[in-house]
């Protein structure tokens, strides 16, 4: 089965051919950001664009997440470059999710005392969505830093490229303060908060030592089209190294182990996709 899940690898610069169009679209959005940065002075237009892009840039966070699990390109320089543009959209720099999420949350999601994305308060009660969102968003970098101290090989690029990214963003804001703030800095903050908010529904309230009973799943086709099958969340936790395009097949092999109550629509599906 493992061989079949990884059978369709790409042969060019992409490790998997399914990543080509998502990356092209995301880079085109980056190009649009920079075109607006250098050509538009009208504040109303920039504010309107920022508001229009809150959801799309939030959705890009799902693809940054996939990249941190399984790097998109075969070439490290291309991966670091892609991560810079991901950071401008999502507020998550090189290796932050690899530390916080892959080496943190995925190893600890069954233990709410250790989970980097924990949904329980210290007194054992369940956080509300807003409390969880603010807690996870504003502790993302500190918790990533703590995990990084245990993983020096991953920690060094995190520190190096985070510093480079923040320096370049500072230059963009310094050179054109309004455009830099509305096109780059504010979206980075917003997307990080948006990401924390939507992850509340992945595990909140599910306390179990059984991995098949600890994640909610959303099988809505449109949701999974836009998020790279992130709705197949139990499968993703079952084998986090499986490429996003293979998650539906993996899900089919374990679906009988997942309680029916753990299949539901997310707030994004209910509000935006109506399905």
pLDDT in tens, 22-56: 999 999 999 999 999 999 999 999 999 999 999 99
At 4 the pLDDT is 36
242 confidence band (pLDDT: 50, 70, 90): very high
At 2 the pLDDT is 35
- Letter string b/e over residues 174-196, b meaning 16 or more CB atoms within 10 A of that residue's CB: eebeebbbbbbbbbbebbbbbbb
What are the C-alpha distances in Å from 148 to residues 27, 63, 76, 217, 223? 28, 22, 19, 29, 32
Q: What is the mean pLDDT of residues 129-158?
A: 97
At 267 the pLDDT is 60
What are the phi and psi torsion angles at 16 (to 5°)?
Answer: -130, 130
Please, are residues 98 and 83 in contact by the beta-carbon 8 Å criterion? no
- Is residue 270 predicted with pLDDT exceeding 70? no
Per-residue pLDDT of 168-203, as tens digits, reads 999 999 999 999 999 999 999 999 999 999 999 999
Does the model's pTM come out above 0.85? Answer: yes
Please, are residues 198 and 218 in contact by the beta-carbon 8 Å criterion? no
At 264 the pLDDT is 84
CA distance 18 to 16: 5
Coil, strand, or helix at residue 240?
Answer: coil
- Is residue 68 predicted with pLDDT exceeding 70? yes
At 12 the pLDDT is 87
268 confidence band (pLDDT: 50, 70, 90): low
Helix or strand holding residue 244 (H, E) = none
- Is residue 5 predicted with pLDDT exceeding 60? no
């Amino acid at each position: 089965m493992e061989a079949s899940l990884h059978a369709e690898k790409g042969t060019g610069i992409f490790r998997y051919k399914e990543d080509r169009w998502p990356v092209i679209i995301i880079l085109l959005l980056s190009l649009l950001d920079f075109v607006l940065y250098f050509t538009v002075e009208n504040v109303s237009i920039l504010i309107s664009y920022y508001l229009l892009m809150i959801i799309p840039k939030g959705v890009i966070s799902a693809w940054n997440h996939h990249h941190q699990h399984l790097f998109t390109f075969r070439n490290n320089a291309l991966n670091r470059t892609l991560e810079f543009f991901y950071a401008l959209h999502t507020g998550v720099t090189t290796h932050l999710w690899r530390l916080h999420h892959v080496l943190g949350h995925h190893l600890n999601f069954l233990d709410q005392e250790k989970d980097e994305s924990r949904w329980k308060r210290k007194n054992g009660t369940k956080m509300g969505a807003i409390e969880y969102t603010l807690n996870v968003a504003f502790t993302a970098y500190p918790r990533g830093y703590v995990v990084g101290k245990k993983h020096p090989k991953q920690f060094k690029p995190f520190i190096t490229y985070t510093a480079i990214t923040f320096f370049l963003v500072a230059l963009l804001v310094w050179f054109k303060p309004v455009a830099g703030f509305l096109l780059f800095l504010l979206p980075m903050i917003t997307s990080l908060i948006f990401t924390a908010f939507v992850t509340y529904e992945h595990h909140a309230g599910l306390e179990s030592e059984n991995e098949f009973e600890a994640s909610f799943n959303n099988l809505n086709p449109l949701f999974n089209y836009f998020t790279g099958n992130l709705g197949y969340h139990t499968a993703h936790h079952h084998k986090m190294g499986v490429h996003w395009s293979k998650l539906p097949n993996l899900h089919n092999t374990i679906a009988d182990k997942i309680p029916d109550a753990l299949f539901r629509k997310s707030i994004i599906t209910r509000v935006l996709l109506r399905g």
